[in-house]
Amino acid sequence: MIRPILVLSGAPLIAALFALTGSATAQEPAEKAVPIFEDGEAQVVDAFRSRRDWIRHWLWVETDFDTDGDGKKDRMHVDVTRQKQTDTEGLKVPVVYETSPYFSGIGSSSTQYFWDCEHEIGATPSARAKMPEIQFRSKAGMIVPLARDREASTWVPRGFAVVHSCSPGTGWSQGCPSIGGDNESFAPKAVIDWLNGRAKGYTTVDGNEEVKAYWCTGKVGMIGTSYNGTLPLAAATTGVEGLEAIVPIAPNTSYYHYYRSNGLVRSPGGYLGEDVDVLFDFIHSGHPDKRDYCNTQMRDKVLRDSADRITGDYNDFWAGRDYINDLGPMKAACLMAHAFNDWNVMPEHSTRIYAALKKKGLPCMAYFHQGGHGGPPPPEMVNKWFSKFLYGVDNDILDGPRAWIVRAGDSPRKPTAYPDYPHPDAKPVTLYP
């Protein structure tokens, strides 16, 4: 098994290596490329750097559910980018994984397709206008190259493979979007199971030729922002083995908190009239043959009818889309990031989960900043997080403060350290007598 090299310093390390291996001779084979770590962080390895040498391939991972009504298990479309050494030198690497409903295009954000907010309280709202369907991408390039290459350029040179997948009912992934339903948790679980040899992957959406993840150590870290940040938490609540760490950035952790507030219908981020069925139309980019079924069975019967836009009350539908109710099986270490000025996904979405994970005893850390929606932790922090939990590097990421807050006027790269969040000495404040 190839093990990572921990770089401590320059010349002393080189001398130590020669003491261990002896001087190289012309007859000896070249050393295999391996990940390198310095100060607890994965470093760029020259042998992994060239994009021309990266191996890229697609596959479809079979899930345990059928949500598009065709009597066959849904398959999720997966995009892999990895080092050539995973084929030529037997290198095994962990995975940084991002899944999303947005990789294959999005619908209109025009309010003409949203709910009318002018109807009287308690009255049945009038039907909303039909949003134009998202054009199905039938040719290559359906996963946005920018999203793929952004993560790949960061992690592949540092010794991680990068995996992307489309959520159910989006792009080339089968099934129906459910806006926080169980299939959106179990779809990434299936991908992680495939990476660990427990699920089957295929070269085509309907074929039987299998693809194996022989190059993967089985350890996976997930990262993403907004909906893409919700899905790592969703996957973690399944308790799937192999998901070691997640970095949810501005995650929506409860669809009730996102679209409702104590019985009132709210408009996240100022999108007046948006709701779960609107978001369904906004992401439903899946195969046209399945759209009518998904629109009728999921959007209309489940989302529109159960969300109860008349009263705004909390019900079983909303309870099933609140991840705080599903944290029992979760084992993954969690580094959460959120902005105090996020009016789309309010910071409460992260603070409530962070408090629950602390109570549960899981490794967790919080990073808060002064921006709007989105904004990741500093790269060094994320690097150490994944290096520790995916490679087992003995760094200091959990030895110090557990909360990092960017104060007004400070650089996002230089947050102020606090023992925890909220501060251990913080006292409750009564806003009203």
Answer yes or no: are the C-beta atoms of 152 and 54 closer than 8 Å.
yes
Q: Report CA torsion sign: 280, 284, 290, 292.
A: positive
Contacts (Cβ under 8 Å, ≥6 apart) of 397: 40, 365, 381, 384, 385, 388
Q: Going by C-beta distance under 8 Å and a sequence separation of 6 or more, which residues neighbour residue 432? A: none
68 in active site: no
Distances (CA, A) of 332 to 16, 156, 182, 241, 419: 36, 22, 18, 9, 21
How many CB atoms within 10 Å of residue 53? 13
Helices 227-236/183-195 angle, 10° precision = 70
- For residue 164, what are its two tokens? 């992307």
Whether 226 sits among the annotated catalytic residues: the reply is: yes
Q: How many CB atoms are located within 10 Å of the residue 52 CB? A: 5
| DSSP 8-class letter at 342 | -
Q: Which of 167, 226, 350, 387 is catalytic?
A: 226
> CB–CB of 103/143 below 8 Å?
yes
Contact 184, 178 (CB under 8 A): yes
- Residue of 68, 193, 342, 387 marked active site: 342
d(CA 74, CA 400): 44
Task: For residue 343, list its beta bridge partners.
Answer: none
Q: In the 3-class helix/strand/coil scheme, how is 381-428 assigned residue by residue?
A: HHHHHHHHHHHCCCCCCCCCCCEEECCCCCCCCCCEEECCCCCCCCCC
Say which of 284, 338, 349, 373 is annotated catalytic.
373
| 363 vs 380: CA distance, rounded Å | 18
Active-site residue flag, 110 = no
The token pair at 261 is 């507030």
For the annotated catalytic residues, the residue numbers are: 226, 342, 373
